Structure formats: C-alpha cells, structure tokens
Amino acid sequence: LNILLLSLGGGGGNILRSVKELFRRDLAVTQKTDGRFAEHLRRAITTRFLDTNEFSLTSVPREERLIIGERTTGRLGARHNPDVAAQALAESRTEVEALLRKHSVVVVIGTGGKGTGAGTMFPVAQMARDQRKLVIPIFVRPSFERHEVDKRRSDHALSVVERFDNAKIRLIEILNDQGYAESDPQPQSVVWERMNRPIARGLRGLIYVLSDLSQVDPSDLSTLFAGGGRLRMGFAEID
C-alpha cells in the first residue's frame, strides 16, 4: 500500500514532525538488519504538510509542502479562522484531490485549536473517502475546561467531531489536555513534546501494520476502521 501521512496546519505539522523523527530512527536500525524491508517502508510512506501559512513550513523540505489558498490567504495563514481555512481548501481543491489520488491509505492529522486544522479536517477526510481511500482521521481536540482554548474554539472543535459522527467516518479523537500541568508550567516546546510523542509512537505502530498487510487479517481492519463510532486516545503516563 501507498500510505500518505498528511498534516493540516501547524498543530498537525508538529505531530507529523515527531512521527518522521521516530520513523527515521527506526529505518536506520532496520537498515542494519533487513535492508529490503527498510526500503519497502521508505517507498510505502509519503509525508506532506498542508498549511495556509508558508512561513510555518520553512523547516519542511520544499517537496513536502502543500500551501493552499494563495488568493484567499496571501500565504499568510487563516488568521485563526476555520472558515477562511475552508475557503482556502476550496480554492486549492483540485491540487489536494490530485495528491490524495496517488495513495491508497490517507492518514489525516489535524488539531482543532486554531484555524487551518479545524477548517480543513473534515473536508479533506471527506475528499479521501469520496475517492474510496482507506482514510484514518486523527483529530486533536482541545479543551475549554483545561484552558487550552476559549469556548468558541472548543465548541467549533466539537462541531468538527460531530460532522465525522454524522458522516459515519470513524475518527481517532485525541484529548491532549493532560499535556498541560498548572502545578508545573513548562515552555510550549516541552508541552508539545509531552503531547506529541505518545501520539507519534502509537501512529508509528499503525504505519507498520498498514505497510505490510500480508501479516494482517482483513476482517480485523474492517472491524477497526469501518462504520460509525470513534477511536479515542488520551494522554497518560504509565509507571
């Protein structure tokens, strides 16, 4: 299978960077013991960073960038407005659909705290589904109660989840509020590390399963990904 890991906006991009870093380390180890399998994994996986703000992608290789809505946003971002992000996606719809068409599995990673991820998460997943891809949406839902975002942003993130439920697209919902600790304030980079590493580790295992379906019972995948309902992940520490 050809697997596309597609991040939406800055929050999704941070998660995908963590996944790439772990995957790069894995490949280096695998290369020493099984070069053919390492090459298979390398060919099977494509990463793309979709955003409305070109400046947030300066550290991303140029061939992995997908800037949407140039006329809508001037490449300066969605201004924390999900509606602007949706308009930018509509402007670049042909380009995004062409990218999705090249892959059989599409893993869409987005967050609901600001604009780009919140405004494009459901439409991109729906595009992939309309093309009959195996689509795996991973949505990080921020919390109003834990003071991650204001109530308007929190309510919008809930509406994104509701759209997935109504469309019967099974969603992996991640609740990251425990990444923040009021008793132990830390820089944003530390908080992102706390939140993104567990997600990256879990996603890495899923990638390995999807990249070699000879080891998987198809009925297991059908049970896991087909139909309504949600898959939920929460931040936790295991002693």
> Could you tell me the pLDDT band of residue 18, with boundaries at 50, 70 and 90?
confident
Instruction: Say what the pTM is.
Output: 0.87
Residue 217 has pLDDT above 80, yes or no: no
Residue 228 has pLDDT above 60, yes or no: yes
Calculate what percentage of the chain has a pLDDT beyond 90: 38
- Average pLDDT on 136-145 reads 83
- Average pLDDT on 3-9 reads 94
What average pLDDT does the structure give for the chain?
85
Q: What is the pLDDT of residues 19-59, one digit of tens each?
A: 888 888 888 888 898 888 888 888 889 999 999 999 999 99
User: What's residue 68's pLDDT?
Assistant: 96
Look at 90-94, 163-167, 204-208 and tell me which has the smallest mean pLDDT: 204-208
CB-CB contact of 12 with 203 (8 Å): no
Q: What is the pLDDT of residues 61-119, one digit of tens each?
A: 999 999 999 999 999 998 889 999 999 999 999 999 999 999 988 999 998 877 899 99
> Could you tell me the pLDDT band of residue 187, with boundaries at 50, 70 and 90?
confident
Residue 170 has pLDDT above 80, yes or no: yes
